[in-house]
Amino acid sequence: MRQNRWLIAIFAIALLTIALLPFASNLPDGLERVAEMFGFAEREQQVYYAPLRDYTLPRLESFVGQAVAALVGISIVSGLALLLGRALRKVNRKDD
C-alpha cells in the first residue's frame, strides 16, 4: 500500500513536470551567461557525451523530446531514490 502511494506521487510529479515544460526558460543558465558576458563561451569544449544534452533527445528537439527526456530523468532519479531507501531500511533493520 505504501509503495502504491509513492508510485502515484512519482506519476503526479511527472505529469506536473510535463505540463510545466512549455513555460521553461530558453535563456542560458548562470554559467553560460557568465561565459557569454566575459567572451569565452566560444572556447567551450565537449568533455563527455551527454545523452540528454539541454534536456532534449538528440533527434526530437520539440516538446515531445523534452517530455521524454523529463520522463527519463524522473524515472532514473525516482528509481535511485527508491533503491537507496530500501537499502537504508534494510541496514536500519539489521541495527535493531
d(CA 93, CA 1): 20
Q: What mean pLDDT is predicted for residues 44-65? A: 77
Q: Where are the domains of the chain?
A: 1-24+56-96
pLDDT value at position 95? 63
Across all residues in the chain, what is the average pLDDT?
82
Q: What mean pLDDT is predicted for residues 55-82? A: 84
Amino acid at 25: S
d(CA 44, CA 35): 9
* Full DSSP string of 9-48: HHHHHHHHHHHHGGGS--S--HHHHHHHHTT-GGG----S
d(CA 37, CA 39): 6
pLDDT value at position 84? 92
pLDDT band at residue 96 using 50, 70 and 90 as cut-offs = low
Q: Which is more confidently placed, 39 or 61?
A: 39
pLDDT value at position 43? 84
Does 68 have pLDDT greater than 80? yes
Residue 70: name the closest of 43, 91, 52, 44 by CA: 52
The pTM of the whole model exceeds 0.85: no
Q: What mean pLDDT is predicted for residues 68-79? A: 87
